[in-house]
Structure 1
Amino acid sequence: MVNNTLEKSEFETLSHFRYQLRRFLRVSEEIAQTADITHLQYLLLLHLKGFQGREWATVSELAERLQSQHHGAVSLISRCEKLGLVKRKQSKADRREVEVHLTPKGDEIVAKLARMHKDELLKLQGIFQVPGFAK
């Protein structure tokens, strides 16, 4: 018989992790507000800038990264496009696909906000190991 009961210390660890995660997300929302954008708009910009191997992503790829429905990603992209943060281009490789690219304004904003997020993550590094960041 498998024992599925967690120890008190495991509950404490999970609780502490969720608390720190929620704290980071709250601070992230505040950081995004300094640039007059929402945290979801920041995440879209971040996923574009951080997409592995290229400087753009498709709508479907962004929906996956954001863990949202396709139509939700389209709406978010439209709002960012109206703010001049991103632009859409028809794919040259596959005319059915739309590529989403950062504009210079979007690139500037995501760089500034990512730096602020990195600083916040470094504060958490003493609590949790944050891979890929050096002090």
Structure 2
Amino acid sequence: MGNKTPPDLPLSAITREDYRALSEFRYLLRRFLEFSQKAARGVGLQPRQHQAILAIKGFPEDRSVTIGDLAERLRILHHSAVELVDRLCEAELVVREPDPEDQRRVFLVLTDKADDFLARLSHIHLDELSRIGPLLKRIPVRENNKK
């Protein structure tokens, strides 16, 4: 995820409507994130704990999740992910299972306690997403005319 150069578009080609769309998108993202943080705290989790157990549960590939995978999904440094996993283990939300093929690596497995938290939080998050979704769809997106 490096810096990408913007498309070759003169600055004057960015319209007021483009700025409004970007502003509205960021506003709705911030609103959802604020909702999510409050919901996590409301059930006794830190927002980062909720993000981590959701990332583990919803990992897109059909394989076990490693600390490196979690770091990538949360966009944090590996050592920060290790510290987070330590706290998740202490809270009995995650257990580390050794990789049978590589003892240097561990897989992260959610506990029943984590699954219970996630079920409660996911239900209310899906409700909130259903409220915000239509607002996101109303944001005008211009077509990229590159050929």
**Normalising by the residue count of structure 2, what TM-score does the alignment of the two structures yield?**
0.82
The 5 A counterparts of 1:1-135 are 2-5=9-12, 6-54=14-62, 56-129=64-137
Q: Is the 8 A contact 2:53 2:114 kept in 1?
A: yes
Q: Is the 8 A contact 1:49 1:56 kept in 2?
A: no
**Per the alignment, in what secondary structure is the counterpart of residue 60 of structure 2?**
coil
Aligned residue type for 1:4: L
Runs of 4 or more off by more than 6 Å in structure 1?
Answer: none
Aligned identity (percent) is 35
Aligned residue type for 1:20: L
Is the alpha carbon distance of 1:64 and 1:25 closer, same or farther for their aligned partners in structure 2, counting shifts above 3 Å? Answer: same
Aligned residue type for 2:10: N
Equivalent pairs, count: 129
Q: Is the 8 A contact 1:43 1:66 kept in 2?
A: yes
Deviations 1:31-64 (A, max 9, x none): 1011211111001100111113447410000000
Return the index of the structure with the highest Cα Rg.
Answer: 2
**Normalising by the residue count of structure 1, what TM-score does the alignment of the two structures yield?**
0.89
Is the alpha carbon distance of 1:97 and 1:70 closer, same or farther for their aligned partners in structure 2, counting shifts above 3 Å? Answer: same
**5+ residue gaps in structure 1?**
130-135
Partner of 1:133: none
Aligned residue type for 1:30: K
